[in-house]
Amino acid sequence: MSVWERYIKDFVSYLKIEKGLSENSILAYSNDVEKLKEYCNEISRVPETINYNDLKLFIGELYDLGLSARSQARIISGIKQFFAYLLLENYISSDPSELLEQPKIGRKLPEVLTIEEIDTLIAAIDLSKDEGHRNRAILETLYSCGLRVSELVNLRFSDLYFDEGFIRVIGKGNKERLVPVSTQVEKEIKLYADHIRKHLSIKKGNEQVVFLNRRGSMLTRVMIFTIIKQLASQIGLKKNISPHTFRHSFATHLIEGGANLRAIQEMLGHESITTTEIYTHLDQRYLRDAILNFHPRNNE
């Protein structure tokens, strides 16, 4: 086994065991380092002898290959993680990637629903059908708690602390967080659980899962996506929305209402505040639109 192979193998174990990353994230990081390994093999470099200029030339080759700024940024992120690990384990004495800069990426602002659009979507749910009460509880939970769709489908009754006013969410990397829960969410979940869910024939292993399909099994992410798309079509909504749109809307409406950015970061489960800061850009767009629409000098 070469030095590169040994270090990459150890790095993957570190990401899995100590960092608790998902298989997809681990695969992405290891692929990034594999690209660097191939380049360094051509110039006879091992991790201990790589310097900043070597890395700059490597990034230059990625650019020449036509990789987008976003793809370059992801690879640089993987490389930085790799060298941070090597430094942590004392395999290297200094980090050659420390001064590497990320390429500038234009942020694409996510689609956001207005409060009126969310109310209209929820009001369009047919409550004469059993799944209607479930779907209403799902949309209220997605929006009011700002959950990822994977967090929603994995929600358990043991995660609900209604008396304390919180739900426990298991997010990316199995990290736990507590999210305040509204009385409306509590009302909708209890209504669904007491009048619809308890009559289902629940499959083994799904007894604690909050939201189930009519066969008593956990819902898939695709099913949540389908529910939302059908409702959007039903009310003639032209925006391209998904379950994640409710999470974006949750954060944006909090920013518009004056909520603290750090508090929103905690509620969303973002590891970095820079991820949360995109919502300040959304708020600025909202403020700009408000000024253009209502400022007297702009209406002349």
**Catalytic site residue 244?**
yes
CB 90 within 8 A of CB 7: no
**Catalytic site residue 156?**
no
Selecting among 80, 177, 203, 244, the annotated active-site residue is 244
Spatial distance between the Cα atoms of 47 and 92, rounded to a whole number of angstroms: 8
* Torsion sign across C-alpha atoms 262, 169, 152, 187: negative
**Catalytic site residue 148?**
yes
Q: In a 10 Å sphere around its CB, with 0-12 CB exposed, 13-18 middle and 19+ buried, how is residue 33 labelled? A: buried
Spatial distance between the Cα atoms of 292 and 299, rounded to a whole number of angstroms: 8
* Torsion sign across C-alpha atoms 20, 26, 30, 32: negative
Selecting among 133, 197, 248, 270, the annotated active-site residue is 270
Percent helix, strand and coil across the chain, each to the nearest 5 = 60, 5, 35
Q: For 10, phi and psi rounded to 5 degrees?
A: -65, -40
SS3 213: coil
CA atoms within 13 A on the CB side of 247: 18
Selecting among 37, 247, 248, 253, the annotated active-site residue is 247
**Catalytic site residue 253?**
no
Selecting among 136, 148, 248, 253, the annotated active-site residue is 148
**Catalytic site residue 295?**
no
Selecting among 80, 172, 203, 221, the annotated active-site residue is 172
- Would you please indicate which residues are annotated as catalytic (active-site) residues? 148, 172, 244, 247, 270, 279
